[in-house]
């Protein structure tokens, strides 16, 4: 067997290090969550362009539901008004008639079939991106429940994935104190607080937990601290203990949440 050269040894050692670095499955959360973020940004940008473009043709169409807006763009054709009513009602059962009347009296300009087809193609692409994002979210939630079951139980799989992706791995997150976990994702606000003495952020990524974003503003800071405390324990167990105590930790948080909510009603 030929003797290994220095160059070959270095390449072999680098390959081994790369394999070790990518072996933990939590790296899939990082890649998956970053992909979801990029898909969301791309979808938002393209939908803004679609809205601007289609408003030339049907400016009265205003919907918060982006998927239904895209489906209406695909379906509506001013040259076939008799078919529009049925298609619109199929997509928007409750507001279909209202939208149809707006279409009949629309102030938008007429476009050629080639123009409309180009707009419809964009709407189709946006729907495909939205479907891909949903599939990736389902995938990431499954990985989160697998690699960090305690964190996923306490904070929810999406919050768990976002926290891990933000710092780059389970062990990195496990080394952080609860006070840091509480404001992860709010680094700009924290830096502004330290530099300009503004109010410190009360929460970062964990704001997406329903208990926090649905709470009154005056309660959010205490709820965020309570949640971060249990998340800190959960991720440490996931990283080092490998036991499932997520239900117990979630119940502790929910008990504290009720205490905070009850304080509002004290005379």
Q: What is the pLDDT of residue 49?
A: 97
pLDDT tens readout for residues 141-176: 999 999 999 999 999 999 999 999 999 999 999 999
pLDDT tens readout for residues 47-63: 999 999 999 999 999 99
Q: What's this model's pTM, rounded to 2 decimal places?
A: 0.81
What share of the chain has pLDDT > 90, as a percent? 70
More confident residue, 9 or 241: 241
Cα angle vertex 52, ends 116, 40, to 5°? 100
pLDDT of 229 strictly over 90: yes
Listed by start position, the domains of the chain span 24-147, 148-267
pLDDT of 8 strictly over 90: no
Q: How far apart are the first and last CA of the chain?
A: 85
For 5, 16, 82, 175, 214, the CA distances from 12, given in Å and listed in that order, are: 11, 6, 69, 31, 52
What are the φ/ψ torsions at residue 4 (nearest 5 degrees)? Answer: -70, 130
Cα angle vertex 137, ends 49, 65, to 5°? 40
Domain with residues 148-267, CATH architecture: Orthogonal Bundle (1.10)
* Backbone CA torsion sign across 80, 84, 86, 87: positive
Smallest Cα–Cα separation from 143: which of 170, 183, 166, 171?
170
For 81, 162, 208, 210, the CA distances from 156, given in Å and listed in that order, are: 46, 10, 10, 9
Q: At what angle do helices 66-75 and 26-54 cross, to 10 degrees?
A: 50
Distance of alpha carbon 9 from alpha carbon 239, whole angstroms? 32
pLDDT tens readout for residues 117-135: 999 999 999 999 999 999 9
DSSP 79: G
Contact 53, 119 (CB under 8 A): yes
4: pLDDT confidence band, cut at 50, 70 and 90? confident
The answer to whether domain 24-147 has CATH 1.10.287.4070 is yes
Q: Which of 15-19, 36-40, 156-160, 230-234 has the lowest mean pLDDT?
A: 15-19
Smallest Cα–Cα separation from 177: which of 128, 216, 231?
231
């Amino acid at each position: 067997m030929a003797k290994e050269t220095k160059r070959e040894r270095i390449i072999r050692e680098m390959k081994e290090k790369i394999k070790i670095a990518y072996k933990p499955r939590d790296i899939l959360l990082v890649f998956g969550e970053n992909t979801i973020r990029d898909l969301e940004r791309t979808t938002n940008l393209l939908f803004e362009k679609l809205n601007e473009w289609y408003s030339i043709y049907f400016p009265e169409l205003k919907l918060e539901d982006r998927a239904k807006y895209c489906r209406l763009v695909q379906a509506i054709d001013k040259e076939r008004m008799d078919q529009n009513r049925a298609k619109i009602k199929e997509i928007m059962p409750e507001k279909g008639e209202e939208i149809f009347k707006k279409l009949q009296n629309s102030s938008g300009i007429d476009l050629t079939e080639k123009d409309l087809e180009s707009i419809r193609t964009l709407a189709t692409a946006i729907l495909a991106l939205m479907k891909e994002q949903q599939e990736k979210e389902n995938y990431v939630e499954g990985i989160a429940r697998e690699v960090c079951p305690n964190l996923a139980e306490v904070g929810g799989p999406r919050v768990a994935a976002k926290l891990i992706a933000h710092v780059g791995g389970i062990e990195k997150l496990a080394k952080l104190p609860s006070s840091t976990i509480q404001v992860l994702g709010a680094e700009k606000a924290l830096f502004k607080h330290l530099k300009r003495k503004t109010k410190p952020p009360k929460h970062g990524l964990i704001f997406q937990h329903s208990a926090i974003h649905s709470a009154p503003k005056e309660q959010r800071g205490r709820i965020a601290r309570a949640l971060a405390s249990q998340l800190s324990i959960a991720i440490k167990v996931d990283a080092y203990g490998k036991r499932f105590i997520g239900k117990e930790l979630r119940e502790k948080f929910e008990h504290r949440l009720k205490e905070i909510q009850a304080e509002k009603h004290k005379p």
